[in-house]
A and B are shown apart, each in its own frame.
Chain A
């Protein structure tokens, strides 16, 4: 189950963060997402590894969560936190592909100011649909 998705701007500022749990651990998830930015930074800045694709794979496992990352060409990061133990790579890739499309739609809105938080309700709705359909197929 996906417990949290987040869009992080290129100054590492949160643009959108939404948790999907009933429990009140939103803050914990914020911490998890924030810490995962270190892994992205290390992976991006590591000269030995070259990033061939936007999908960054598993960032790190912590406690009961697994954190996956995705980096767009505009250096906007998508972060996914899941509680699943067995995560299929293709599922995560699919998720990020759909999520990226939703993000592109949201920021293409002429009233959206780049670098500002995404407050679009349509985007939130789309994201929760994508999260709901995650892992079903």
Chain B
């Protein structure tokens, strides 16, 4: 595909490789790295498409090397050829480098100045052979052109700035013949270079540093060469590295001087401006600028290039040297050349903004210089080239510019915008101008017969010696001569040249570049525009597949942003592409999309200016209608008429069925909008429910539908609506069953922008969600459109474009349905006709296996594959808990758990049921219920055990199938729940009682340890009494089976002796406990070991509910007894007195103080007076009690009053322990009878 253009301006040649190397060293020439383009599939495809056109560097083809690169000084070397290579290499490596022409022999001298005559155009041309040097005499003779084509190349490769003559030292100091040879060589050299002001250097080559050359000879040499001693250099073979830099510096100095002098010489001519013509000034300025470039004086070069450019611009309209067209061509060619130089210099100097402004000026000053309007294609081509070249220059230099936004945005006069810094902008415009050229040329060729005949083969027109000029090469016998040509001849030549090129490929290549870089810049719309232009170009080239690819890129953006007019145009192109590609489905889709666009303009000018419209035609209502007719004629044709496919553009028969799917994001949504609303949000199964189907089409013409199929997620609900005007065609349908509901409508016509509302009743079979999925419309015999159903409530307009010009109407007549209607509804479950009852209510007692009978009774439904789910849920916070109770809760310990399910009692069938699922976890159970016929029942018992008193929620749910084993039958569910209270059945208490009227001095009771407050203390080896009581705290009568105390372990058995009290009267401890009643049992405890914490074991209680006689129902409850402190008492005080007293009769009240220690105990006692008694004996005293002995305090008391009387209270204080203790109040009372009781005696 790539077509290379030959260089049109210059013939290239010369020392390309050397300079190319230098060029690469310049950083600003680095090419910009391409953005990574890999990844997704469309990008890959794009890459493939783009790779078709390798990025052709137009710049390199348009301009020769010498223009594109800065010039390098040139020197010529004569003699001593063995040194040339090392000198040349050294000069190349200089900064700036110097090029060298090497001539081994002085005899080659004539070649030096003849060399530049080897011009390809001149070589066979005797008339041009006596070409005079333009510098010497151009001011005298009016020139034939502005710039000579080969001048720059000549100065870069042919005319040296200086000549270096190398002489071996022995030639100078040697014999006279050798010296004479040296002199004659010098003379010839001088005679050649003197007229051209070329500098001369003489280099004496010494073989050794010690070689001495006589002063006389050297002086003679200098005189002969007419040189300053500075320019007679010495070179040592042995010290080459030392000598070379000296030579190089002398060379560069002289070269600079040469170029400076040349420039000055020409500048002086410019100053005599009045006397010279404008074209000479242009030429002189150009030359001065080039010499400045040789000297690397970029500022001056720029200045003179600009002078030259401005002078050239003045020539427009004034110059008369050439025929009008060719004159303009020459001026524009040179302007382009100068512009190129200026832009290059500016961009390499980093002056991006200046370069862009310069281009702006360049473009605007030549924008209107069109020349002959008949041949305007020349202008367009030139303009295109300006943009292209600048784009490439900008692209090459853009690596050095980091960010455009930091740049100064132009000047006040010329504001610059961001895009003007992007090469893509220029590429795009270059392509645009080339498009102009292409169409202008096509117009020209089509208009004139003469132009059509031009084929370019007969002409022999070639570029002339002057830049931008052309001449005819004529053969006269042996000789070839160049002749001026007329404008007609030139135009013929230009047209024939232009016809040779396929501009489309270049347009596409540049646009692709632009597209790529705009895409990288994230300028999507610019990129889309480029893609559109590319696609249009491909379309023009009859390449529909490539065109389609790029149109698709564009169309997506326009769809997204709703640019209807642009979308219409692109769709028109795409429609043609699909027609050419023969893709019928695409064609239909695109046509329908176009037809449904909200295009409303009616101004259908009679003149369809096809040039500006795409193949889609103007975006008008009438055009929409005609496309509509076209596509529906194709779609709904009868089978017999298919023979006429040729005229539609399709090369094959299109009788295969066509199906289009429309979803919510499809661009075809306006073609058929289906809104479906159920009238009820909840419906009963097997009952009729109303559904409204509303269809809307934005097509411009009415469409008749053959039949509609409405599809639901429950396929049994699908139904068909038939148009009764259409013949019934038995068409096989995959979605609607043959026995499904069918409705008939007198007509099914979609009027544009009007809702077609249809209301039907459907009868859902199954419970659950019923949703309308899609509505399928069948048009004609083979064409179906399926549109996704939408809820009126959720229906949205397309986000960016709307059908503004129509009255918005509601999809349903009912406004509430139109706003809140849903395309889905909920079908309820059938009423359960099975009863589940929970037989008990509680409360449950902690510890027992609480039984909950569950009865499933069928009351109208048979139960198949029933499943009972049982769940226990903690009613957190439901009851009144003390926080302390809730505290030890953890996930692992379930306080309430299901112990077991005792299933199917009295139902043998269930045992044989193999699939009897029974899963029990602590709070979850699953039981399968056997199949039950109507009226049957089944029951099971659930056992739940409480470990703690807390309320629990019991959930029981039964799921069953009412209709046997139908695969798609739906389960019916019944839910029951019950809150059950868990309660403590018995509260167990215990109490310790010390021996009657014996008081022990227990030291830790006097001085209690801080932590042993609650612990009761028992004296060692004394018989204490333990009373255990159990109180029924429920509302249920309980039967207590037995109560016993069990010691924990061996240690407990040795340290303590517990006996049942009551003198062995074993009544098995069983007793009935009414609610609130208490049961007490007495035990004697004799601690045998002294320990601060004696474990007394626990009370075991066996009980059951009264009236429950099964053995299993017996529950045993444990109650741990508190630990006691066992201590030996040092002093024991026992009170002795008769069981009763008689009023007025004395009795003895003895207090025995027993010392149980090995020490002498001193005890103080004090006896308080009692009012009811007369007392004899000491009130207070201190007594000493011997170890292990007793002391008895004996009193005589006479009671004075009757009844229960308090004995005189004694207080004993142990001096040793400084502890005081008293007998308990109850122990020190006695009953006083008024007289001796008679009962006993009568009984006797």
Residues of A within 8 A of B (CB): 9, 11-14, 17, 24-27, 30-31, 34-35, 37-39, 41-43, 46, 48-49, 57-63, 85, 116-117, 119
Q: Which residues of B contact A58 (CB under 8 A)?
A: 415, 417
- Chain A residues with CB under 8 Å of B425's CB are 60
Find A62's partner among B429, B528, B613 (CB 8 Å cutoff).
B429
Alpha-carbon distance between A61 and B805 when the two chains are bound, in angstroms: 34
Cα A39 to Cα B419 in complex, Å, equals: 8
Within 8 Å CB of B528, what residues of A?
Answer: 34
Partner of A11, one of B518, B561, B564, B804: B561
Judge whether B732 is part of the interface by a CB distance below 8 angstroms.
no
Q: Is B500 an interface residue (CB 8 A)?
A: no
B50: Cβ under 8 A from any A Cβ: no
Contact of A25 among B406, B415, B432, B612 (CB under 8 A): B612
> Which residues of B386-442 are within 8 A (CB) of A?
405-406, 415, 417-420, 425, 429, 432
Identify B562's interface contact among A14, A30, A57, A85, CB under 8 A. Answer: A14
Cβ of B563 within 8 Å of any chain A Cβ, yes or no, is yes
B429, B529, B561, B569 interface centre (most CB from chain A within 10 Å):
B561
Which residues of A sit under 8 angstroms from B529, Cβ to Cβ? 31, 34-35
**Top-8 shortest CB links A-B:** A13-B800, A38-B523, A13-B562, A60-B417, A60-B419, A24-B612, A12-B561, A38-B525
B477 within 8 A of partner (CB): no
Query: B563, A39: Cβ atoms under 8 Å?
Result: no
B802 CB contact (under 8 Å) in A24, A25, A38, A116: A116
Within the assembled complex, what's the spacing in Å between the Cα atoms of A14 and B568?
A: 14
Interface residues of B in 771-813 (CB under 8 A from A): 799-802, 804-805
Residues of the B chain whose Cβ atoms lie less than 8 Å from the Cβ of A25: 612
Any A CB within 8 A of the CB of B565: yes
Given A58-B415, A61-B417, 17 further pairs, Cβ under 8 A = A14-B563, A14-B564, A26-B565, A27-B565, A27-B569, A27-B612, A34-B525, A34-B529, A38-B523, A38-B525, A39-B418, A46-B405, A58-B417, A60-B418, A61-B420, A117-B801, A119-B804
- The 8 A CB mask of B561-577 against A (1 = contact, 0 = none) is 11111100100000000
Bound-state CA distance A21–B405 (Å) is 34
Determine the chain A residues whose CB is within 8 A of the CB of B419 once the complex forms: 39, 60
Interface members, chain B 518-574 (any A CB < 8 Å): 518, 523-526, 528-529, 532, 561-566, 569
19 pairs, CB–CB < 8 Å, chain A vs chain B: A13-B561, A14-B564, A24-B609, A24-B612, A30-B563, A30-B565, A31-B532, A34-B529, A38-B524, A38-B526, A39-B417, A39-B418, A39-B419, A57-B415, A60-B417, A60-B425, A61-B420, A85-B364, A116-B804
Question: Which one, B418, B563, B564, B569, contacts A42 given CB within 8 A?
Answer: B418
| In the complex, chain A residues whose CB is within 8 Å of the CB of B429 | 62-63
In whole angstroms, how far apart are the Cα atoms of A43 and B529 in the complex? 19
* Nearest CB of chain A from residue B199's CB, rounded to whole Å: 50
B406, B425, B562, B613: residue with the most chain A Cβ atoms closer than 10 Å: B562
Task: Report A-chain residues with C-beta under 8 Å of the C-beta of B612.
Answer: 24-25, 27
B413, closest chain A residue (CB): A86
CA distance A35 to B569 in the complex (A): 16
Q: Which residues of B contact A38 (CB under 8 A)?
A: 518, 523-526
Closest A residue to B532 by beta carbon equals A31
Rounded to whole Å, the gap between the CB of A57 and the closest CB of chain B is: 7
Counting chain B CB atoms within 10 Å of each CB, the highest count among A58, A60, A61, A63 belongs to A61
B1125: min CB distance to chain A, Å: 83
Within the assembled complex, what's the spacing in Å between the Cα atoms of A26 and B800? 21
Residue on B nearest A89 in the bound complex, by CB: B415
A121 to B334, CA, bound (A): 54
Whole-angstrom CA separation of A38 from B523 in the bound complex: 5
Instruction: Name the interface residues of B466-525: CB closer than 8 Å to any CB of A.
Output: 518, 523-525
How many residue pairs link A and B with beta carbons under 8 A? The number is: 78
**Residue on A nearest B561 in the bound complex, by CB:** A12
A43 vs B804: C-alpha distance in the bound complex, in angstroms?
Answer: 31
Measured between C-beta atoms, what is the minimum distance from A20 to chain B in Å?
A: 15
Question: What is the CA–CA distance of A14 and B561 in the complex, to the nearest angstrom?
Answer: 8
CA of A14 to CA of B564, assembled, Å: 9
**A69 vs B418: C-alpha distance in the bound complex, in angstroms?**
14
**Interface residues as binary, B593-609 with A (CB distance below 8 Å gives 1, 0 otherwise):** 00000000000000001
Q: Are A48 and B566 in contact (CB under 8 A)?
A: no
Known: A31-B566, A39-B418, A60-B417. A11 touches B799 (CB 8 A): yes
Complex CA–CA separation, A40 to B880 (angstroms): 70
**A residues near B799, Cβ cutoff 8 Å:** 11
Task: Name the distance in Å between A104's Cβ and chain B's nearest Cβ.
Answer: 20
Residue of A at shortest CB range from B805? A119
Q: Is the CB of B406 within 8 A of A30?
A: no
Docked Cα-Cα span, A84 to B805, in Å, equals: 35
Give complex CA distance A117, B599 in Å.
Answer: 12
Q: How far is the CA of A26 from the CA of B564 in the complex (A)?
A: 13
Contact A48 B406 (CB under 8 A): yes
Task: Check if A11 sits within 8 Å of B563, measured CB to CB.
Answer: no
Minimum Cβ distance to chain B for residue A127 (Å): 17
**Complex: A27 Cα to B562 Cα, angstroms:** 15
Contact B405 A49 (CB under 8 A): yes
Task: Write out the residue numbers on chain B whose beta carbons fall within 8 Å of the beta carbon of A119.
Answer: 804-805
Q: How far is the CA of A63 from the CA of B528 in the complex (A)?
A: 18
Most chain B beta-carbon neighbours within 10 Å: one of A14, A24, A38, A59: A38
B523 / chain A contacts, CB cutoff of 8 Å:
38, 41-42
In the assembled complex, the Cα of A89 lies from the Cα of B749 at a distance in Å of: 57
Measured between beta carbons, the chain A residues less than 8 angstroms from B609 are: 24
Given A61-B420, A63-B432, A116-B802, answer yes or no on A34-B563 (Cβ-Cβ < 8 Å): yes
- Report Cα–Cα, A31/B528, bound state, in Å: 10
CA of A85 to CA of B804, assembled, Å:
37
Task: For B805, list chain A residues within 8 Å (CB).
Answer: 119
* Shortest Cβ distance from residue A132 to the other chain B in the assembled complex, whole angstroms: 20
Give the chain B neighbours of A27 by CB distance below 8 A.
565-566, 569, 612-613
In the complex, chain B residues whose CB is within 8 Å of the CB of A85: 364
Complex Cα spacing A12 to B560, Å: 9
Q: How far is the CB of A33 from chain B (nearest CB, A)?
A: 9
* Residues in chain B near residue A12, CB distance under 8 A: 561
Is there an interface contact between A34 and B566, defined as CB atoms closer than 8 Å?
yes
Q: Which residues of the partner chain A approach B565 to less than 8 Å between Cβ atoms?
A: 17, 26-27, 30
Instruction: Write the nearest CB–CB distance from B121 to chain A, whole angstroms.
Output: 38
The interface centre, meaning the residue of B525, B526, B612, B802 with most chain A CB atoms within 10 A of its CB, is: B525
Tell me the complex Cα distance, A24–B525, Å.
Answer: 22
CA distance A26 to B529 in the complex (A): 15
Once bound together, how far apart are the Cα atoms of A55 and B488, in whole Å? 52
Chain A: which residue is nearest B432 at the CB level? A63
Q: Which residues of A contact B563 (CB under 8 A)?
A: 13-14, 30, 34
- Least CB separation from B558: chain A residue: A34
| Interchain CB contact under 8 A, B417 and A59 | yes
B804 pairs with A117, CB closer than 8 A: yes
Which chain A residue shows the least CB distance to B798? A13
Q: How far is the CB of A94 from chain B (nearest CB, A)?
A: 18
Interface centre among B406, B563, B609, B799, by most chain A C-beta atoms within 10 angstroms, is B563
Interchain CA distance A85-B367 in the complex, whole Å: 12
A11 vs chain B, min Cβ distance (A): 5
Task: Kindly supply a per-residue 1/0 record for chain B positions 743-786, scoring 1 wherever the CB is within 8 Å of any chain A CB and 0 otherwise.
Answer: 00000000000000000000000000000000000000000000
A4–B804 CA distance with the chains assembled, in angstroms: 22
Task: Give complex CA distance A68, B565 in Å.
Answer: 21
Closest B residue to A46 by CB, please name it: B405
CB–CB A60/B420 < 8 A: yes
CA distance A25 to B613 in the complex (A): 9
Complex: A25 Cα to B611 Cα, angstroms: 10
In the complex, residue of chain B having the shortest beta-carbon distance to the beta carbon of A48: B405
Residues of A within 8 Å of B562, CB to CB, are 11, 13-14
Name the distance in Å between A75's Cβ and chain B's nearest Cβ. 14
In the assembled complex, the Cα of A57 lies from the Cα of B417 at a distance in Å of 9
Residues of B within 8 A of A46 (CB): 405
Q: In this complex, what residue of A is CB-closest to B568? A: A27
Report chain B residues within 8 Å CB of A34: 525, 528-529, 561, 563, 566
